[in-house]
Amino acid sequence: MAIPLIYNLRSVGKRWVSSIVAIAGIGGAVGVFIAMMAMARGFQATLVASGSVRNAMILRGGATSEMDSAIDRDQERTISDAPGIARDANGTPLVSAEVVCIASLPKKDTGTDANVQIRGVSPIVLQIRDVVKITEGRFFHPGVTELVVGRNVTLTIRGMNLGDKVKIGGREWDVVGVFDAGGSALDSEIWCDQPLLSQTFDRPENIFQSICARLQNPGTFQTVKDSLTSNPALTVDVMREVDFYTRQSQMITTVIHSLGFLVAIVMGIGAIFSALNTMYSAVSARAREVATLRALGFGGGSVVASFVLESLFISLIGGLVGALFALPVNGMTVSTINWQTFSHTAFAFQVTLPIVAMGIIFALFMGLVGGLMPAIRAARLPVAAALREL
């Protein structure tokens, strides 16, 4: 049987000052790690939530985002007639040909300008993007300079409340409605009538940047895709809307992940050294106790296991403390420029259970690395000499 765990647990408590140093180091690294992962996760979730498996996004072939995509009117008609695309009660295809522009608008908190994405949509867009609900006011009337704004836009941009008038692209627009897109990236957008937006920003009248099409059901996606990609008159990329937004989130999430890992690794190395220091001093201070255990007949393996467990226990507390400190960022809303659309996207940090679990595993890894060498040293202490140490 192994050296009783209670011996290690009580020893940690007895040497609490040095234990706290290691706990703080590991906790800090885990806290930063969890916060960064929660940020990446929040950003990704925000964008992914914008898409639906019931919708298909159609862009010019090879386009990486809506910004460098173009689809003309003829192509739009062909797309609308594709098999597998849903129609309303009147037989109108549920397709929204959209144009995306960027407007510089002052932020509420700092007064500095932020790039806000304005999406020119079809009047039937709410039947297609069913995640979007009008929560205040009403939807815009076609052909009228009216805007509906996302929830985050009213919160973060000046003069974007219901009833406000706002100047965009040389025209005065009325804010007639506020919509809730369920915490997705669409919440950071302003929507208006597509032909009017194209005119305002001097865009060609019959050119769109993307087509968002409602599928008859999620299973008809392949039919739509096959039909459009095999049509020689079209050069388009067809993807599920949810995949499109996942792709849109990739660059930023990769950057956040990379930065997160980098910071966590640097802090982790520091934390491992503090764990090493704590465990080496624990071994040194308890040399006589270790020698006594060896004299009683406990083997070297038991001593290694005992000190590694002690280090893991310290790191587990560190991990839990780090998670506890990172927890308040959960739900915290921040905004960033999405480099694929050049516009501000507000998103909330998401501290999920898998992220916390990853943080704890990271902590245990630091504990293992920080505890192993001192534990081996403990097992190799010369028993006879250590027994007489004071």
Partner 1 sequence: MVRVDGINNGDALIRVRDLDKTYRRGSEVIHVLQGLNLNVDRGEFVAFMGPSGSGKTTLLNLLGGLDVPSAGTITADGEQIEKMSGRKLAAWRARHVGFVFQMYNLLPVLTAFQNVELPLLLTKLSKSDRRRHVEMALSIVGLSDRMKHYPNQLSGGQEQRVAIARAIVADPTFLLCDEPTGDLDRKNGMEIIELLERLVAEHYKTVLMVTHDPIAANKAHQILHLEKGSLVEATKGN
In this chain, which of 144, 259, 295, 334 binds partner 1, going by CB under 8 A?
A: 295
CB 285, min distance to partner 1, A: 11
Distant-in-sequence contacts of 324-328, Cβ < 8 A, 24+ apart: 325/27, 325/31, 326/30, 326/31, 326/32, 326/34, 326/35, 326/38, 326/351, 326/359, 327/351
Nearer to partner 1, 13 or 163 (CB): 13
- Total binding residues toward partner 1, as defined by CB under 8 A: 27
In this chain, which of 17, 89, 233, 296 binds partner 1, going by CB under 8 A?
A: 296
CB 297, min distance to partner 1, A: 2
CB 321, min distance to partner 1, A: 22
E strand spans, 305-387:
333-338, 343-348
Q: Rounded CA gap, 23 and 19, in Å?
A: 6
Nearer to partner 1, 4 or 143 (CB): 4
- Which residue has tokens 């498996």? 53
CB 376, min distance to partner 1, A: 14
Q: Does 17 interact with partner 1 (rule: CB under 8 A)?
A: no
Tell me the two tokens of residue 250.
């990739």
CB 321 within 8 A of CB 19: no
Q: What are phi and psi of 193, to 5 degrees?
A: -70, 130
CB 379, min distance to partner 1, A: 10
CB 306, min distance to partner 1, A: 11
Q: Does 10 interact with partner 1 (rule: CB under 8 A)?
A: yes
Nearer to partner 1, 4 or 204 (CB): 4
CB 47, min distance to partner 1, A: 52
CB 385, min distance to partner 1, A: 9
In this chain, which of 11, 50, 117, 198 binds partner 1, going by CB under 8 A?
A: 11
In this chain, which of 119, 294, 344, 377 binds partner 1, going by CB under 8 A?
A: 294
In this chain, which of 111, 170, 172, 388 binds partner 1, going by CB under 8 A?
A: 388
Q: What is the DSSP string of 101-167?
A: EEEEEEBTTT--EEEEEEEEE-TTHHHHSTT-EEEEE-PPPTTS-EEEEEHHHHHHBTT-STT-EEE
Nearer to partner 1, 6 or 17 (CB): 6
Q: Does 5 interact with partner 1 (rule: CB under 8 A)?
A: no
- 172's enclosing H/E stretch is strand 171-180
Nearer to partner 1, 332 or 383 (CB): 383
Site string for partner 1, 260-289 (x = CB under 8 A): ----------------------------xx
Segment lying near partner 1 (by CB under 8 A), choices 6-14, 64-72, 116-124, 311-319: 6-14
In this chain, which of 124, 142, 300, 373 binds partner 1, going by CB under 8 A?
A: 300
CB 386 within 8 A of CB 303: no
In this chain, which of 1, 17, 233, 353 binds partner 1, going by CB under 8 A?
A: 1
Non-local CB neighbours of 10 within 8 Å, separated by 6+ positions = none
Neighbours of 324 (CB within 10 A): 14
Non-local CB neighbours of 22 within 8 Å, separated by 6+ positions = 271, 274, 275, 277, 278, 279, 314, 315, 318, 370
Segment lying near partner 1 (by CB under 8 A), choices 7-15, 20-28, 84-92, 318-326: 7-15
Nearer to partner 1, 232 or 388 (CB): 388
CB 77 within 8 A of CB 85: no
CB 283, min distance to partner 1, A: 14
Nearest to 213 by CA among 39, 94, 112: 94
CB 384, min distance to partner 1, A: 4
Nearest to 60 by CA among 229, 230, 248, 247: 229
Non-local CB neighbours of 363 within 8 Å, separated by 6+ positions = 26, 27, 29, 30, 315, 316, 318, 319, 320, 322
In this chain, which of 33, 140, 298, 307 binds partner 1, going by CB under 8 A?
A: 298
- Using CB under 8 A as the criterion, which residues of the chain lie in contact with partner 1 when the complex forms? 1-4, 6-7, 10-11, 13-14, 288-289, 291-300, 383-384, 387-388, 390
